[in-house]
Structure 1
Amino acid sequence: MHYIRFLYLVSMLSCGSGFLGNAQQKNPKPNIVYIMSDDHAYQAISAYGHGLNQTPHIDRLAQEGLKFTRATVTNSLCAPSRAVLLTGKHSFVNGKIDNMAKFDWNQDNFAKMLQKHGYQTALIGKIHMDGLPQGFDHSAVLIDQGEYYNPNFVINGHKQQLTGYVTDLTTDMVIDWIDKRDSEKPFCVLYHQKAPHREWLPALRHIQSYTATTYPEPATLFDDFQGRGTAAKSAEMNILNHMNWAGDSKVPPPLMDELGLKEYMKWDKAAYTNNLGRMTEEERKSWDAVYNPIMETFKAQYPNMTSRELLQWRYQRYMQDYMGTVAAVDEGVGKLLDYLKANGLEENTIVIYTSDQGFYLGEHGWFDKRFMYEESLRTPLLIRYPKEIPAGKTSNALVQNLDFAPTLLDFAGVEIPADIQGESFRTLAAGKDSLWRDAVYYTYYEYPSIHMVKRHYGIRTDRYKLIHFYYDVDEWELYDLEKDPNELSNVYEDPDYAAIKKHMTKKLQDVRKKYKDSGQNDARYIPVE
């Protein structure tokens, strides 16, 4: 009798474990694919409606998931933004305040936490921080900014030059890693593209069509910065005056010398020589067949061009190459999404597309980023997760890159550490919660340095933005984004905005206190007396 009961109990336990196993299979932890390009302006994603280009594959994430229209960064600079992503903490807390500061890989990051909870993790592409990445079972990262053609990667600590175009190589390595993973465990891969970072070398398959495209000029291309302070007027980001002729506009060094064009940065000609010098003989032949005629036309026109016409020419050259590099990024997203679908991974994989910050595409006559003005502060953010996130939705919530770490931990069922400063937007994305922060906080420290954007901090609310430029100046700017979306009129001293200024100043003080930013966390911070 006891023996029969024993067999019955064993049988029930066996069945129970089977049911439990099936339940776990039905509700496994989600896989995570975090896609981050470098300097990809939201204006250059067709889902955002600016009409500059077409990104059908990235747009799929907006159609099948959620599009954030007011996602922002805490520090609009490559390496600091990546440090914020990993740690969920502001730059003045994680220590990576600018591109020069060392990043301490020994501090905790969300990938390490996922590892401890059974996730397989990988980092593939650009990270732009020294040291062997920690928190990843597999890493294949570019050295510093990386190269577009036949790039060098450091693969699990070992340097190796790969043959091909960097955007395609990065995509293929991501898919290969997912394909060879342990399918019994959830995975998280950070899929980081170099493109569309300077110096914008498109894939050969795109150069013919994109160099033949004419792009509409932004309304502020010829901005004279009246109504604003020292910072905007003194920045060195103007397409005509501060962009490199050879490295950026692709004017060959011999032609520069012939036309009397001077290097703005000392590495201008070297960038051209080194970047194109990485190409094979056949690649270079294909490149020259397209670009040489462009330069011959420029050579003939240059002597009679006005400054206005020259800025317009350089703007088109910039946009053609920039958008050409975006095209390969978009194709890579499509290839990955098709792979996930074909392999039954679509439903249980969170896919995020974003950039490390925004970028200027001629607005205010600029290229680059760094400022707290909208084109630099805002970043594209699209997220698809069929199990939780309704398709085709839009959110105006003020989410930040500060929120990625806690959000991904939340999705993975991992407790969010108390010292993480960001907030999970999981329920917000699912449409289950409308409560969210009413202001985002921003800091920028890399001055004096390239582009000469002055140090500043500030807050942005739904309608207003308050910025304090400090260190070598003491200037405040206040913008009414509803009435002045292009941020052309600083109303800080306008008596009609006295109440708003007082309210925003108090809110800024409260936010700085909340995030424990006394200003002394930056060793180079010099308070204005």
Structure 2
Amino acid sequence: MLIKRRNFMKSMGLGAAALGLGQTSSLANISNQTKVPRKKPNVIIVFADQLRKHAVGCYGNDFVRTPNIDALAANGMRFDHGISNCPTCVAARSNLLSGQYARTCAGSRLNEVVSHIGRDDRKKFKDPTLAEEFKKLGYKTAQVGKWHIDTRPSLLGFDESMIVGRIFTKGNFWKNEGQSYDVDGFTADHEIDAVNNFIKENKDEPFFMYYNITSPHMPILDVPYQYSHMYNPSEVPLRQNVWKNGKLPYNEYWFHIYLWLHGWGIDYKPTTAKIPPGFSLRDVAALYYGSVTWVDDLLGSMMNTLKQNGLENDTIIIFSADHGDQLGSHHLWNKARLYEESINIPMIYSCPGRIKKDVNTTQTATLIDVMPTLLSLCGADIPQSVHGQDLTPILKGEKTTLDRDYAFVETSYGKIGIRTPTHLYGASLDKDDREIENIRYKFFDIENDPYEKNNMVNTSAQKGVADELRDKLIAWEKNTPRLEGVKYDPFFYRDNNF
């Protein structure tokens, strides 16, 4: 059944203020019904970079070792359909901290930033952020690791920050937006030390910490030896959609980037500028998985510190990522594609006694949902500007599915899509980012075609489903506002290969 027009605004979940309306958002009503009367819990977001769902043990990967992520999931709610609303670093992080779509909070769907630290103004992020809302609740707020947002942390509600610049060896940081300083060893070690120290020093007061782990983002060769040599390339399983005509993808340019970030103007000199003979996607995948296990060990260190300080049962933890990685699927690399490998990310909420232990397979859980959900769990009202929805009824076991069980996605290449628990429908925008140029870009039955090999968009297959998703996507595109008052490039245009 096609969605009825009078129910559109409610089903989209867009905040009334964001659309210039004067009505009360249903999100605030949900929030008021689910306030937690107990002591304020601590909140930690552990945010990996470029970690796709398919590379984690609890999501069905029985090759990679991720015992700490798996344990976190076993003690909380794991969403099978965790979706990045914009699978690019800056845009996705903007989604997370604003609860809004990237076009609204930051305008650009690119990695557009003025510096590592960010802008000195609020021309972007005009509405309250997650950190600002936690400060109102009396929380101490801190950011550690990768920032990659186009406004300074201090302007978005963070009391403390430690932003990484160069990664991983020969790295540098900015502490509280001061002068840059260099560090010895791996930047990830410096970050986890800061995270653990913050927990110890603030165990007696409520805190909100935004902990960003740069791995498994490239360079995946610049990692500790134990991880770069952890997995045997000949044993690495590959996704079924990496082959074309029986051949694996090979791209020396991208292999250089994966290994060393070579060619992107990064001040990092690899030990060799040549891809060794016989090097293949399997070698890249083995290194990627090694970086994933590095992420898992860093999470384990943080979890151990929480336990040692008696905070493991009074801290809400979200483990997720900004986006995934194509890693050769569909012969594509990196991120930002309207494909499962880019948009489907881990999404785990955990807190004993507050969040039910379960696996949800019927609800999409997105980055813009994090802000309203955390605020609701902590007993706060949700700003009217938020586009995401409160997942608390699911986390508490009261429901398994909300009225809006689908997610909207926008990408760096001018593509937009709607992802349900079973399907993905996509369209493309014109170069001015104002109108839909092609409403029949792609349509996949994810449930029966998980590797997205059969694009049904130009067929009559499942026409009723396709028509309903198309209409929802058109309505969302028409009614979701874009940032005004600042010049930005919305996305790359045009690359027909993507």
Query: 1:137 maps to what in 2?
Result: 159
Question: Letter of the aligned partner of 1:466 in structure 2?
Answer: Y
Tell me how far apart the structure 1 counterparts of residues 289 and 492 of structure 2 sit (CA, whole Å).
40
Tell me how far apart the structure 1 counterparts of residues 229 and 449 of structure 2 sit (CA, whole Å).
38
Query: Equivalent residue of 2:250, what SS?
Result: helix
Tell me how far apart the structure 2 counterparts of residues 93 and 339 of structure 1 sit (CA, whole Å).
37
Tell me how far apart the structure 2 counterparts of residues 327 and 500 of structure 1 sit (CA, whole Å).
39
Query: 1:497 maps to what in 2?
Result: 462
Query: Equivalent residue of 2:365, what SS?
Result: coil
Query: 1:274 maps to what in 2?
Result: 268
Query: 2:4 maps to what in 1?
Result: none
- Verify: 1:391 aligned to 2:357, yes or no: yes
After the TM superposition, which of the residue ranges 380-389 and 393-402 deviates more from structure 2?
393-402
Q: Deviations over 1:47-97 (max 9, x none)?
A: 111223010011111111111100101111001000111100101110243
The structure richer in strand per residue is: 2
Query: 2:343 maps to what in 1?
Result: 377
Query: Equivalent residue of 1:210, what SS?
Result: coil
**Do the aligned partners of residues 97 and 175 (structure 1) sit closer, same or farther apart at CA in structure 2, a change above 3 Å counting?**
same
- Verify: 1:176 aligned to 2:197, yes or no: yes
Q: Deviations over 1:153-208 (max 9, x none)?
A: 11111211122212222111101111112x44200101101111112122123333
Question: Letter of the aligned partner of 2:446 in structure 1?
Answer: L
1:443 to 410, 415, 428: 410
Tell me how far apart the structure 1 counterparts of residues 130 and 110 of structure 2 sit (CA, whole Å).
21
Tell me how far apart the structure 1 counterparts of residues 233 and 325 of structure 2 sit (CA, whole Å).
23
Identity %: 24
Query: Equivalent residue of 1:194, what SS?
Result: strand
Query: Equivalent residue of 1:485, what SS?
Result: coil
Query: 1:470 maps to what in 2?
Result: 429
- Verify: 1:329 aligned to 2:295, yes or no: yes
Query: 1:461 maps to what in 2?
Result: 420
Query: Equivalent residue of 2:191, what SS?
Result: helix
Tell me how far apart the structure 2 counterparts of residues 244 and 370 of structure 1 sit (CA, whole Å).
15
**Do the aligned partners of residues 136 and 101 (structure 1) sit closer, same or farther apart at CA in structure 2, a change above 3 Å counting?**
closer
Verify the 8 A CA contact 2:362 2:400 in the aligned structure 1.
Answer: no
Q: CA deviation at 1:504?
A: 2.1
Verify the 8 A CA contact 2:105 2:483 in the aligned structure 1.
Answer: no
Which has the greater radius of gyration? 1
Verify the 8 A CA contact 1:36 1:353 in the aligned structure 2.
Answer: yes
Query: 2:38 maps to what in 1?
Result: 27
Query: 2:250 maps to what in 1?
Result: 240
Verify the 8 A CA contact 1:443 1:457 in the aligned structure 2.
Answer: yes
Query: 1:156 maps to what in 2?
Result: 176
After the TM superposition, which of the residue ranges 503-512 and 345-354 deviates more from structure 2?
503-512
Query: 1:341 maps to what in 2?
Result: 307
Q: CA deviation at 1:213?
A: 6.2
Query: 2:34 maps to what in 1?
Result: none
Matches within 5 A, 1:37-186: 37-95=48-106, 96-100=108-112, 106=122, 107=126, 108-134=128-154, 135-143=157-165, 146-158=166-178, 159-181=180-202, 183-186=203-206
Question: Letter of the aligned partner of 2:60 in structure 1?
Answer: G
Tell me how far apart the structure 1 counterparts of residues 150 and 463 of structure 2 sit (CA, whole Å).
46
Q: CA deviation at 1:481?
A: 1.9
Tell me how far apart the structure 1 counterparts of residues 102 and 146 of structure 2 sit (CA, whole Å).
19
- Number of equivalences: 437
Q: CA deviation at 1:139?
A: 0.2
Tell me how far apart the structure 1 counterparts of residues 346 and 450 of structure 2 sit (CA, whole Å).
17
Structure 1 residue runs without a partner (length 5+): 1-25, 226-237, 251-264, 278-290, 303-309, 447-453
Verify the 8 A CA contact 2:110 2:490 in the aligned structure 1.
Answer: no
1:428 to 380, 385, 394: 394
After the TM superposition, which of the residue ranges 45-54 and 469-478 deviates more from structure 2?
469-478
Query: 1:18 maps to what in 2?
Result: none
TM-score w.r.t. the length of structure 2 is 0.80
Matches within 5 A, 1:217-366: 217-223=238-244, 240-241=250-251, 243-249=253-259, 267=263, 274-276=268-270, 302=277, 313-366=279-332
The structure richer in helix per residue is: 1
Question: Letter of the aligned partner of 2:164 in structure 1?
Answer: L
Verify the 8 A CA contact 1:167 1:329 in the aligned structure 2.
Answer: no
Query: Equivalent residue of 2:475, what SS?
Result: helix
Q: CA deviation at 1:523?
A: 6.8
TM-score w.r.t. the length of structure 1 is 0.75
Tell me how far apart the structure 2 counterparts of residues 505 and 432 of structure 1 sit (CA, whole Å).
30
Tell me how far apart the structure 1 counterparts of residues 332 and 338 of structure 2 sit (CA, whole Å).
14
